[in-house]
Structure 1
């Protein structure tokens, strides 16, 4: 099991890394951000939109925001423009940090039940495991974005957790 301080640390890391990636992506034009780069979600823009979509899906299950009104592969319906995506990402980072700040050890020991579209059935898992999953999912896809940005000539910051101040 993780402790509340770990969730708070990962929420800070989430914001720090999002700020880095979005700043690096800002240096590229819209066509470069939307170019199909062979990633699972094709482009920089779409992969960043997927991360935000997934954060909203998960945080909606915890009662912290509204569920997105589209499937995970349709994120350009929600965020067709870069500025809207950036603004919603910043707002979600506030939600993620407030959510993590509110955890107690008892909260993390509890279970969450939800219907999983990916699994096609009702699920129940320990909260600490799902919190770990949410932050792991973000990190996984941000790594893909980091690689796409680097190959496009942008310069995102380092990703090492120990370098975060």
Structure 2
């Protein structure tokens, strides 16, 4: 089982609503658990024979399973300027899109008000388009990522001024 397979498995589990899954093969043992609705899903591989999987599996597991976490500031902007802002971060690795298709307007623009649950962008990961919802209410102050560019796990996407 390679990291891509593990990543697909974790994506499937996170969307399925299961709280715990254990998989064991001759080379690998994976235990994936979800702790409530606000905590990230954790993967704990314990390979029997293949040491390279130990190094590669944990980053893939963490990169695809955590929900959006609001944070007070982002390292890309001076702290004094962002002290009142909340950052919406990418919950996964993929390609960031501001709209659902190239010929439709952006889901949110600078100055738009957002509420909890409003879709703010789409991230394509492994040919799946995932709608990213805001977990905070407020006003979009800044879009930190260009349309159709790759994003990393936990990368800041938007700055939101809370209401």
Range into which the TM-score falls when normalised by the shorter chain: under 0.3
Task: With a CA cutoff of 8 Å and minimum separation of 6, indicate the structure with the bigger relative contact order.
Answer: 1
User: What is the TM-score of this pair, normalised by structure 2?
Assistant: 0.23
User: What is the TM-score of this pair, normalised by structure 1?
Assistant: 0.23
Determine which structure has more spread, i.e. the larger CA radius of gyration. 2
Higher helix share: 1
